[in-house]
Amino acid sequence: MLFAIHFMKAQTNPHVLRQYPFVNYDSNEVRFFNDDVSFNHFYSKFDTLTSLGKGKLNILQIGGSHIQADVWSDQIRKNFQNISPNLNGGRGFIFPFKLAKTNNPHYYDVTSTGNWTGYRNAVRSHQSTFGVSGITATTTDSLSSFKIEFKNGDNPFYDFNSIKVFHDLDSTSFCLELISDTCVSIEVNYEIGYTEFKFDKYQEVVEFKIYKTDSVQTHFNLYGLSLDNDDNGVVYTSIGVNGASTSSYLRNQLFVPHLKAINPDLVIFCIGINDAFEPGFCSTCFENNYDSLVAMIKSVNPNCEFLFVTNTDSYYKKKIANKRAFKVQDIMMNLAKKHRAGYYDLFTVMGGLGSIKTWQNNGLAQKDRVHLTKNGYILLGDLMFSALMKEYGKWEDKVPKWEAK
């Protein structure tokens, strides 16, 4: 099937945005500081997907509490997948946050039996092994279970014909059993660290039993799941942990091996709001942490491209505007230059220092003047998607045009 979405280059702003007088729409763009740099790899794969209906495009957005709730990221995900009815490439990697006793995205339910304990890479006292998600759910009960089910309604339909469960594969880990009668094969990947269950038909619900069979088995650590299918399209993964900073993600011992299963074409970095709130905020440390994260990701996919996003506007204790947002701006700009990456100045788009008060007055930010409301995060998602599509239109004008034959 062929797709006709080349409407983008015909418009200055291809995505219809709700207009607010306090939003700086003129700054809503992806900037590149090297003349020969744009998202060539990413947009080339996107162009093949939208023009010919071939391939999988993998996007990864990483952050803190702005991302864990998956409203901002989910809006971008839906925007990409709604370009055409055939661009939903599946849900991909998720984490059942309710198992870890923390807030879960709204569009899937998690139920369980047994006692589970949650660990987050953002909590220094939490001593656990962390995977790419930065959060771990652990049970020491000899028998437990968990179930994940997507909700109906206006949510996209995410079915799958394979499930990767990321967990420990050594002799101390409890056994994992899929509660289903349709599984056709089970494969264990020791290099990455998952058990994969494959089906002969598409599934909508996943349920597992965890149990002990030997005295040497002491626990079960769940690091996340990937719900995959064979469809062409966009797979948009969001990784967010409440309170996470750049140093938090460097605690993820299994970050690199697990990332191999995601294999992102584009990584959108939104880590920084919690760094900027730390009493001893260190600009050099912040930049060095990002350098380390980039190196880790490039070790998985050397062709991966990056978008560095500045912090949202925020306040200390609802009263004092956080001027460190300016430092983060400078560092993100420097990182974009250094790593030949894209730069998105969300701080300026919001309206700059103190703008979150205006967002709050318009129902787009919460009373803590740090987090946004659902409508606020949806607006962020629409703004960022629009900026990415504007840049795609520019990219299209520079490359030979594809023609149907």
- Say if 258 falls within a structural domain: yes
Kindly state whether residues 206 and 352 are assigned to the same domain: no
- Farthest-apart Cα atoms in the chain, separation: 66
- Say if 202 falls within a structural domain: yes
Kindly state whether residues 237 and 367 are assigned to the same domain: yes
Cα–Cα separations (whole angstroms), residue 350 to 11, 50, 299: 23, 30, 34
pLDDT, tens digit, for every residue of 63-103?
A: 999 999 999 999 999 999 998 878 999 999 999 999 999 99
Is 90 exceeded by the pLDDT of residue 13?
Answer: no
Query: What is the span of the domain harbouring residue 150?
Result: 90-230
Q: How many domains does the chain have?
A: 2
- Euclidean distance between CA atoms 343 and 25, whole angstroms: 15
Angle between helices 283-300 and 324-338 (to 10 degrees): 40
Kindly state whether residues 170 and 286 are assigned to the same domain: no
Running DSSP on this structure, what letter comes out for residue 350?
A: H
Kindly state whether residues 251 and 377 are assigned to the same domain: yes
- Euclidean distance between CA atoms 290 and 276, whole angstroms: 14
Task: Tell me the HSE value of 380 on the side-chain side, using a 13 A CA sphere.
Answer: 31
pLDDT at 401: 58
Kindly state whether residues 267 and 333 are assigned to the same domain: yes
- Euclidean distance between CA atoms 150 and 204, whole angstroms: 7
Kindly state whether residues 96 and 80 are assigned to the same domain: no
pLDDT, tens digit, for every residue of 211-258?
A: 999 999 999 999 999 999 999 999 999 999 999 999 999 999 999 999
> pTM of the full predicted structure?
0.93
Kindly state whether residues 250 and 371 are assigned to the same domain: yes
Helix, strand, coil abundance in the chain, percent, nearest 5: 30, 25, 40
Kindly state whether residues 367 and 317 are assigned to the same domain: yes
Is 80 exceeded by the pLDDT of residue 404?
Answer: no
Q: Of 172, 202, 230, which closes a domain? A: 230
Q: Of 188, 211, 230, which closes a domain? A: 230
Q: Of 230, 248, 283, which closes a domain? A: 230
Strand, helix or coil for residue 241: coil
Q: Contact 52/403 with Cβ under 8 angstroms?
A: no
- Say if 7 falls within a structural domain: no
pLDDT band at 400 (very low <50, low <70, confident <90, very high): low
* Helix (H) / strand (E) containing 76: helix 72-81
Kindly state whether residues 136 and 276 are assigned to the same domain: no
- Euclidean distance between CA atoms 161 and 90, whole angstroms: 10
Average pLDDT over residues 145-166: 91
- Say if 1 falls within a structural domain: no
pLDDT > 90 fraction of the chain, expressed in percent and rounded: 83
What are the DSSP E strand ranges found in 130-182? 135-139, 143-150, 160-167, 175-178
- Say if 404 falls within a structural domain: no
- Say if 213 falls within a structural domain: yes
pLDDT, tens digit, for every residue of 278-333?
A: 888 999 999 999 999 999 999 999 999 999 999 999 998 888 888 999 999 999 99
User: Could you give the dihedral angle defined by the CA atoms of residues 322, 323, 325 and 327, in that order, rounded to the nearest 10 degrees?
Assistant: -140
Cα–Cα separations (whole angstroms), residue 197 to 159, 350, 369: 14, 44, 44
- Say if 176 falls within a structural domain: yes
